[in-house]
Amino acid sequence: MRPLGAQVDDDGRAPHDMNDEAVREGAEVTAGEMAVNHCEKIPLGTQGATEWEVVHLPSSLGDFQARAFRSPVTGSEHLVLSVGPLQERGGLLRVHSECLTGDVFQSLRCDCGPQLQGALDLLKDEGGIVIYMRGHEGRGIGLVEKLRAYALQEAGVDTIDANLRLGHAEDERDYADAIDILCLLGVKSVRLITNNPQKRDALVAGGVEVEALVPLRIAANPHNERYLETKRKRMGHYLE
């Protein structure tokens, strides 16, 4: 799988293959002829994630079925929450990157917590899946390095340049485990809940058809305005 965030267009936006307005209108995006079938080929990057127990998970955020998966390569343990029957095609999917500070402690420095809440709210209304990807803290650099990047941001550096100054890539997340999980669940196409075109690109590259993007509109606050603006301008996120 190609590194995420490694390339940007001349204007600083991440490249993608469809009109921004069309994406925001929910236009169809498919894997096309260049994609491999993620269930017929060797899984990208792993020997195939292992599924463990399936349990009922009642919570204040909703009533879910929970599945746990472990990557035999990274050792990361991922959580899959679902509402309703799993759909082979066209169901809602959120691939959510772990963010301890935002998801658990409701940090105002990012929009991760509200995005997770928004995705779970959509699942309660329509059914679907959230894959909670462990090992994605700080766009893949880990908690300690994320806080080091925060210190640089407090000195005036934006979120991308902070990672770069610490010797990391703009985005070090890998989605091979998510693709394996979808294969194991029998999911072939999805409506992807995201503002991030690179997540769409990663799934399509792994052979998962993305029928449409479902953006999440999260209001900015004084603590994350610059962060969100950087994601919009330099990473191509759909945050208009």
- Of the residues 158, 171, 174, 177, which is catalytic? 171
Cα angle 32-202-188, degrees, rounded to a multiple of 5 = 55
Q: Give yes or no for a contact between 65 and 96, defined as CB atoms under 8 angstroms apart.
A: no
- Known catalytic residue at 125: no
The rounded Cα 78 to chain-centroid distance in angstroms is: 13
Q: Give yes or no for a contact between 180 and 187, defined as CB atoms under 8 angstroms apart.
A: no
Pairing label, strands 91-97, 128-133 = parallel
- Known catalytic residue at 139: no
Distance CA 233, CA 219 (A): 17
Beta strands in the chain (DSSP E): 50-59, 62-70, 77-83, 91-97, 128-133, 189-193, 209-214
Distance CA 160, CA 165 (A): 9
- Of the residues 94, 139, 173, 200, which is catalytic? 173
Burial (0-12, 13-18, 19+ Cβ within 10 Å), 79: middle
Provide the annotated active-site residues.
Answer: 171, 173
